Amino acid sequence: MAFLKVVPLEKALEVIDSFPLKPEIETVLLSEALGRVLAEDVTSPINVPPFDRATVDGYAVRAEDTFMASESEPVKLKVVGEINAGDTPAVELKPGESVYISTGAPLPKNANAVIQFEDVEGEGDEVVIYKPAYPGLGVMKAGADIPKGKILLKRGTRLTFKETALLSAVGFSEVKVFRKPRVAVISTGNEVVLPGEELKPGQIYDINGRAITDAVRELGGEALFLGIARDDRESLKELIEKGIECCDIVILSGGASGGIRDLTSSIIEELGEVKVHGIAIQPGKPTIIGLINGKPVFGLPGYPTSCLTNFTLLVAPLLRKLIGREGEVRKVKKRLAHKVFSVKGRRQFLPVRVEGGKAVPILKGSGAVTSFIDADGFTEVPENTEILEAEEEVEVTFFG
């Protein structure tokens, strides 16, 4: 195993960026597309509405036939047919003719206005019109809502119900979206057991497995929790190999011991290559980044807040790139709620909660589960800063 020295965060991000993973595209049914991310710009293949459409119930007319109509001298038109929504209009209006039409129905040829029932009097085969109709009255023109060829949605759009409805409106039953990256999640440590199991003396419940699995899912990835590897080479190697086999990315979170880190990096060296072993940030020193068969393997710190911070800094941007959500803003500027002391010479990421418009530092220590529960994200304390004053502006990066 090559010994690699601790690198700056920027270097680690460069390494990750150079990995041979590319966003992939798949076609899904529109009925299954909610929450997915568009992999291409979508252009409308049709006019909406596809035809000149009545927007009221009434009589379709040639507007010019009504121009002379008045209360005292109404115009009478012959009613030559009826068109309902869904009908194919077979009628063609000649001068002096009209058609009984319902909302949503296509206008007959030569008609250019619909006068609603309330404004006319129908008498058998005749309709009596008391005021002029202008061309376009009671009509939505073909393409008035969405013209054919209009770009409707941009690549990278996350599909909410509004976008799926829009795609439905222009007739798409399938849509091209970014394939969800598959992420294998492995917890490690002799002391860690799965929730639901009995806790023996010296044991604690796994936290990172659940946190990372569900954080990946929230990001829009597919996550597969493979279980807990013990601090022995065979157990760990087996799960890493399984992860490489089934997934695009493997994420391990360390147990408390340093031994597991050595094991992890030795196994990665055996199966592939360790690219980063330690990042010059706090927390993050124990972080390992490797590549096996072209697939990234991340070994994240064991403390939940540290694990999640490193996940957010290193893995989440990669997932966002693969899923077409690169542009997403996950940062906000806030003023610090109170003074914070840091250690000079250490680039620190401090958990904070956004509350009352301020960034409130959570100072429980990375060992506390509750610090990541109470926090919304973290803020950076630069290497040469010892004190961040209250009211100082900081940038908060949200977890995930």
Q: Binding to its own copies (CB under 8 A): which residues in 232-291?
A: 255-258
Closer to its own copies at the Cβ: 15 or 46?
46
User: CA–CA separation, 107 vs 202, rounded Å?
Assistant: 79
Q: Give min distance, CB of 38 to its own copies, in A.
A: 14
Identify the residue among 65, 206, 248, 380 touching its own copies (CB under 8 A): 206
Q: Which of 20-28, 68-76, 186-194, 235-243 is the region at the interface with its own copies (rule: CB under 8 A)?
A: 186-194
Candidates 207, 239, 244, 279; binder of its own copies (CB under 8 A) is 207
Task: State the minimum distance, in angstroms, from the CB of residue 226 to its own copies.
Answer: 12
Q: Does 174 bind its own copies (CB under 8 A)?
A: yes
Q: At what angle do helices 233-246 and 259-271 cross, to 10 degrees?
A: 50
Which of 5, 200, 356, 357 is close enough to bind its own copies by CB under 8 A? 200
Residues 333-392 that bind its own copies (CB under 8 A): 364-365, 367-370, 372-373
Q: Scanning residues 79 to 98, which ones bind its own copies (CB under 8 A)?
A: 83-89
Q: How far is the CB of 29 from its own copies (least distance, A)?
A: 9
> Interface with its own copies includes 398 (CB under 8 A)?
no
Stretch that binds its own copies, among 66-74, 190-198, 245-253, 343-351 (CB under 8 A): 190-198
| Residues in a beta bridge with 355 | 358
Among 6, 79, 169, 354, binds its own copies (CB under 8 A): 169
User: Which amino acid is residue 167, in one-letter code?
Assistant: L
Binding residue (CB under 8 A) for its own copies from 8, 135, 171, 382? 171
Residue 215 binding its own copies, by CB under 8 A: yes
Tell me if 1 contacts its own copies by CB under 8 A. Answer: no
Do residues 326 and 318 make contact, with C-beta atoms less than 8 angstroms apart? no
Q: Is 391 exposed, middle or buried (0-12, 13-18, 19+ CB in 10 A)?
A: exposed
Only one of the segments 124-132, 205-213, 334-342, 348-356 lies at the binding site for its own copies (rule: CB under 8 A); that segment is 205-213
For its own copies, which is the closer residue by CB, 178 or 225?
225
Residue 201, judged by CB atoms within 10 A of its CB (0-12, 13-18, 19+), counts as: exposed
CB of 151 to its own copies, least distance (A): 13
Structure tokens at 257: 């011991």
Q: Residue 355 and residue 392: Cα distance in Å, rounded?
A: 15
Q: Which stretch binds its own copies (CB under 8 A): 43-51, 287-295, 327-335, 382-390?
A: 43-51
Residues in contact with its own copies, counted by CB under 8 A, come to a total of 86
Which of 266, 287, 280 minimizes the C-alpha distance to 383? 280
Choice from 116, 203, 235, 385 touching its own copies (CB under 8 A): 203
Helix, strand, or coil (residue 308): helix
- In the structure encoding, which two tokens stand for residue 217, read together? 């899912």
Q: Which of residues 54-83 bind its own copies (CB under 8 A)?
A: 55, 57, 83
Structure-token pair, residue 131: 């005021």
Question: Measured between alpha carbons, how far is residue 72 from residues 62, 95, 129, 130, 131 in Å?
Answer: 21, 22, 11, 8, 10
136-141 long-range contacts (CB < 8 A, ≥24 apart) are 136/63, 136/112, 137/63, 137/113, 138/54, 138/55, 138/56, 138/58, 138/113, 138/114, 139/52, 139/53, 139/54, 139/55, 139/107, 139/112, 139/113, 139/114, 140/49, 140/52, 140/53, 140/55, 141/52
DSSP 117: G
Residue 51 Cβ vs its own copies, minimum distance, rounded to whole Å: 7
Instruction: Name the residue nearer to its own copies (CB basis): 105 or 250.
Output: 105
Q: How far is the CB of 25 from its own copies (least distance, A)?
A: 19
Q: In the set 6, 15, 79, 166, which binds its own copies (CB under 8 A)? A: 166
Site for its own copies in 286-315 (CB under 8 A): 302, 304
Residues 123-152 that bind its own copies (CB under 8 A): 140, 144-146
- Tell me the helices (H) and strands (E) count for the chain, helix number first: 8, 27
Cis peptide before 317 (omega within 30 of 0): no
| Residue whose structure tokens are 């330690």 | 278
Q: Residue 27, interface with its own copies (CB under 8 A)?
A: no
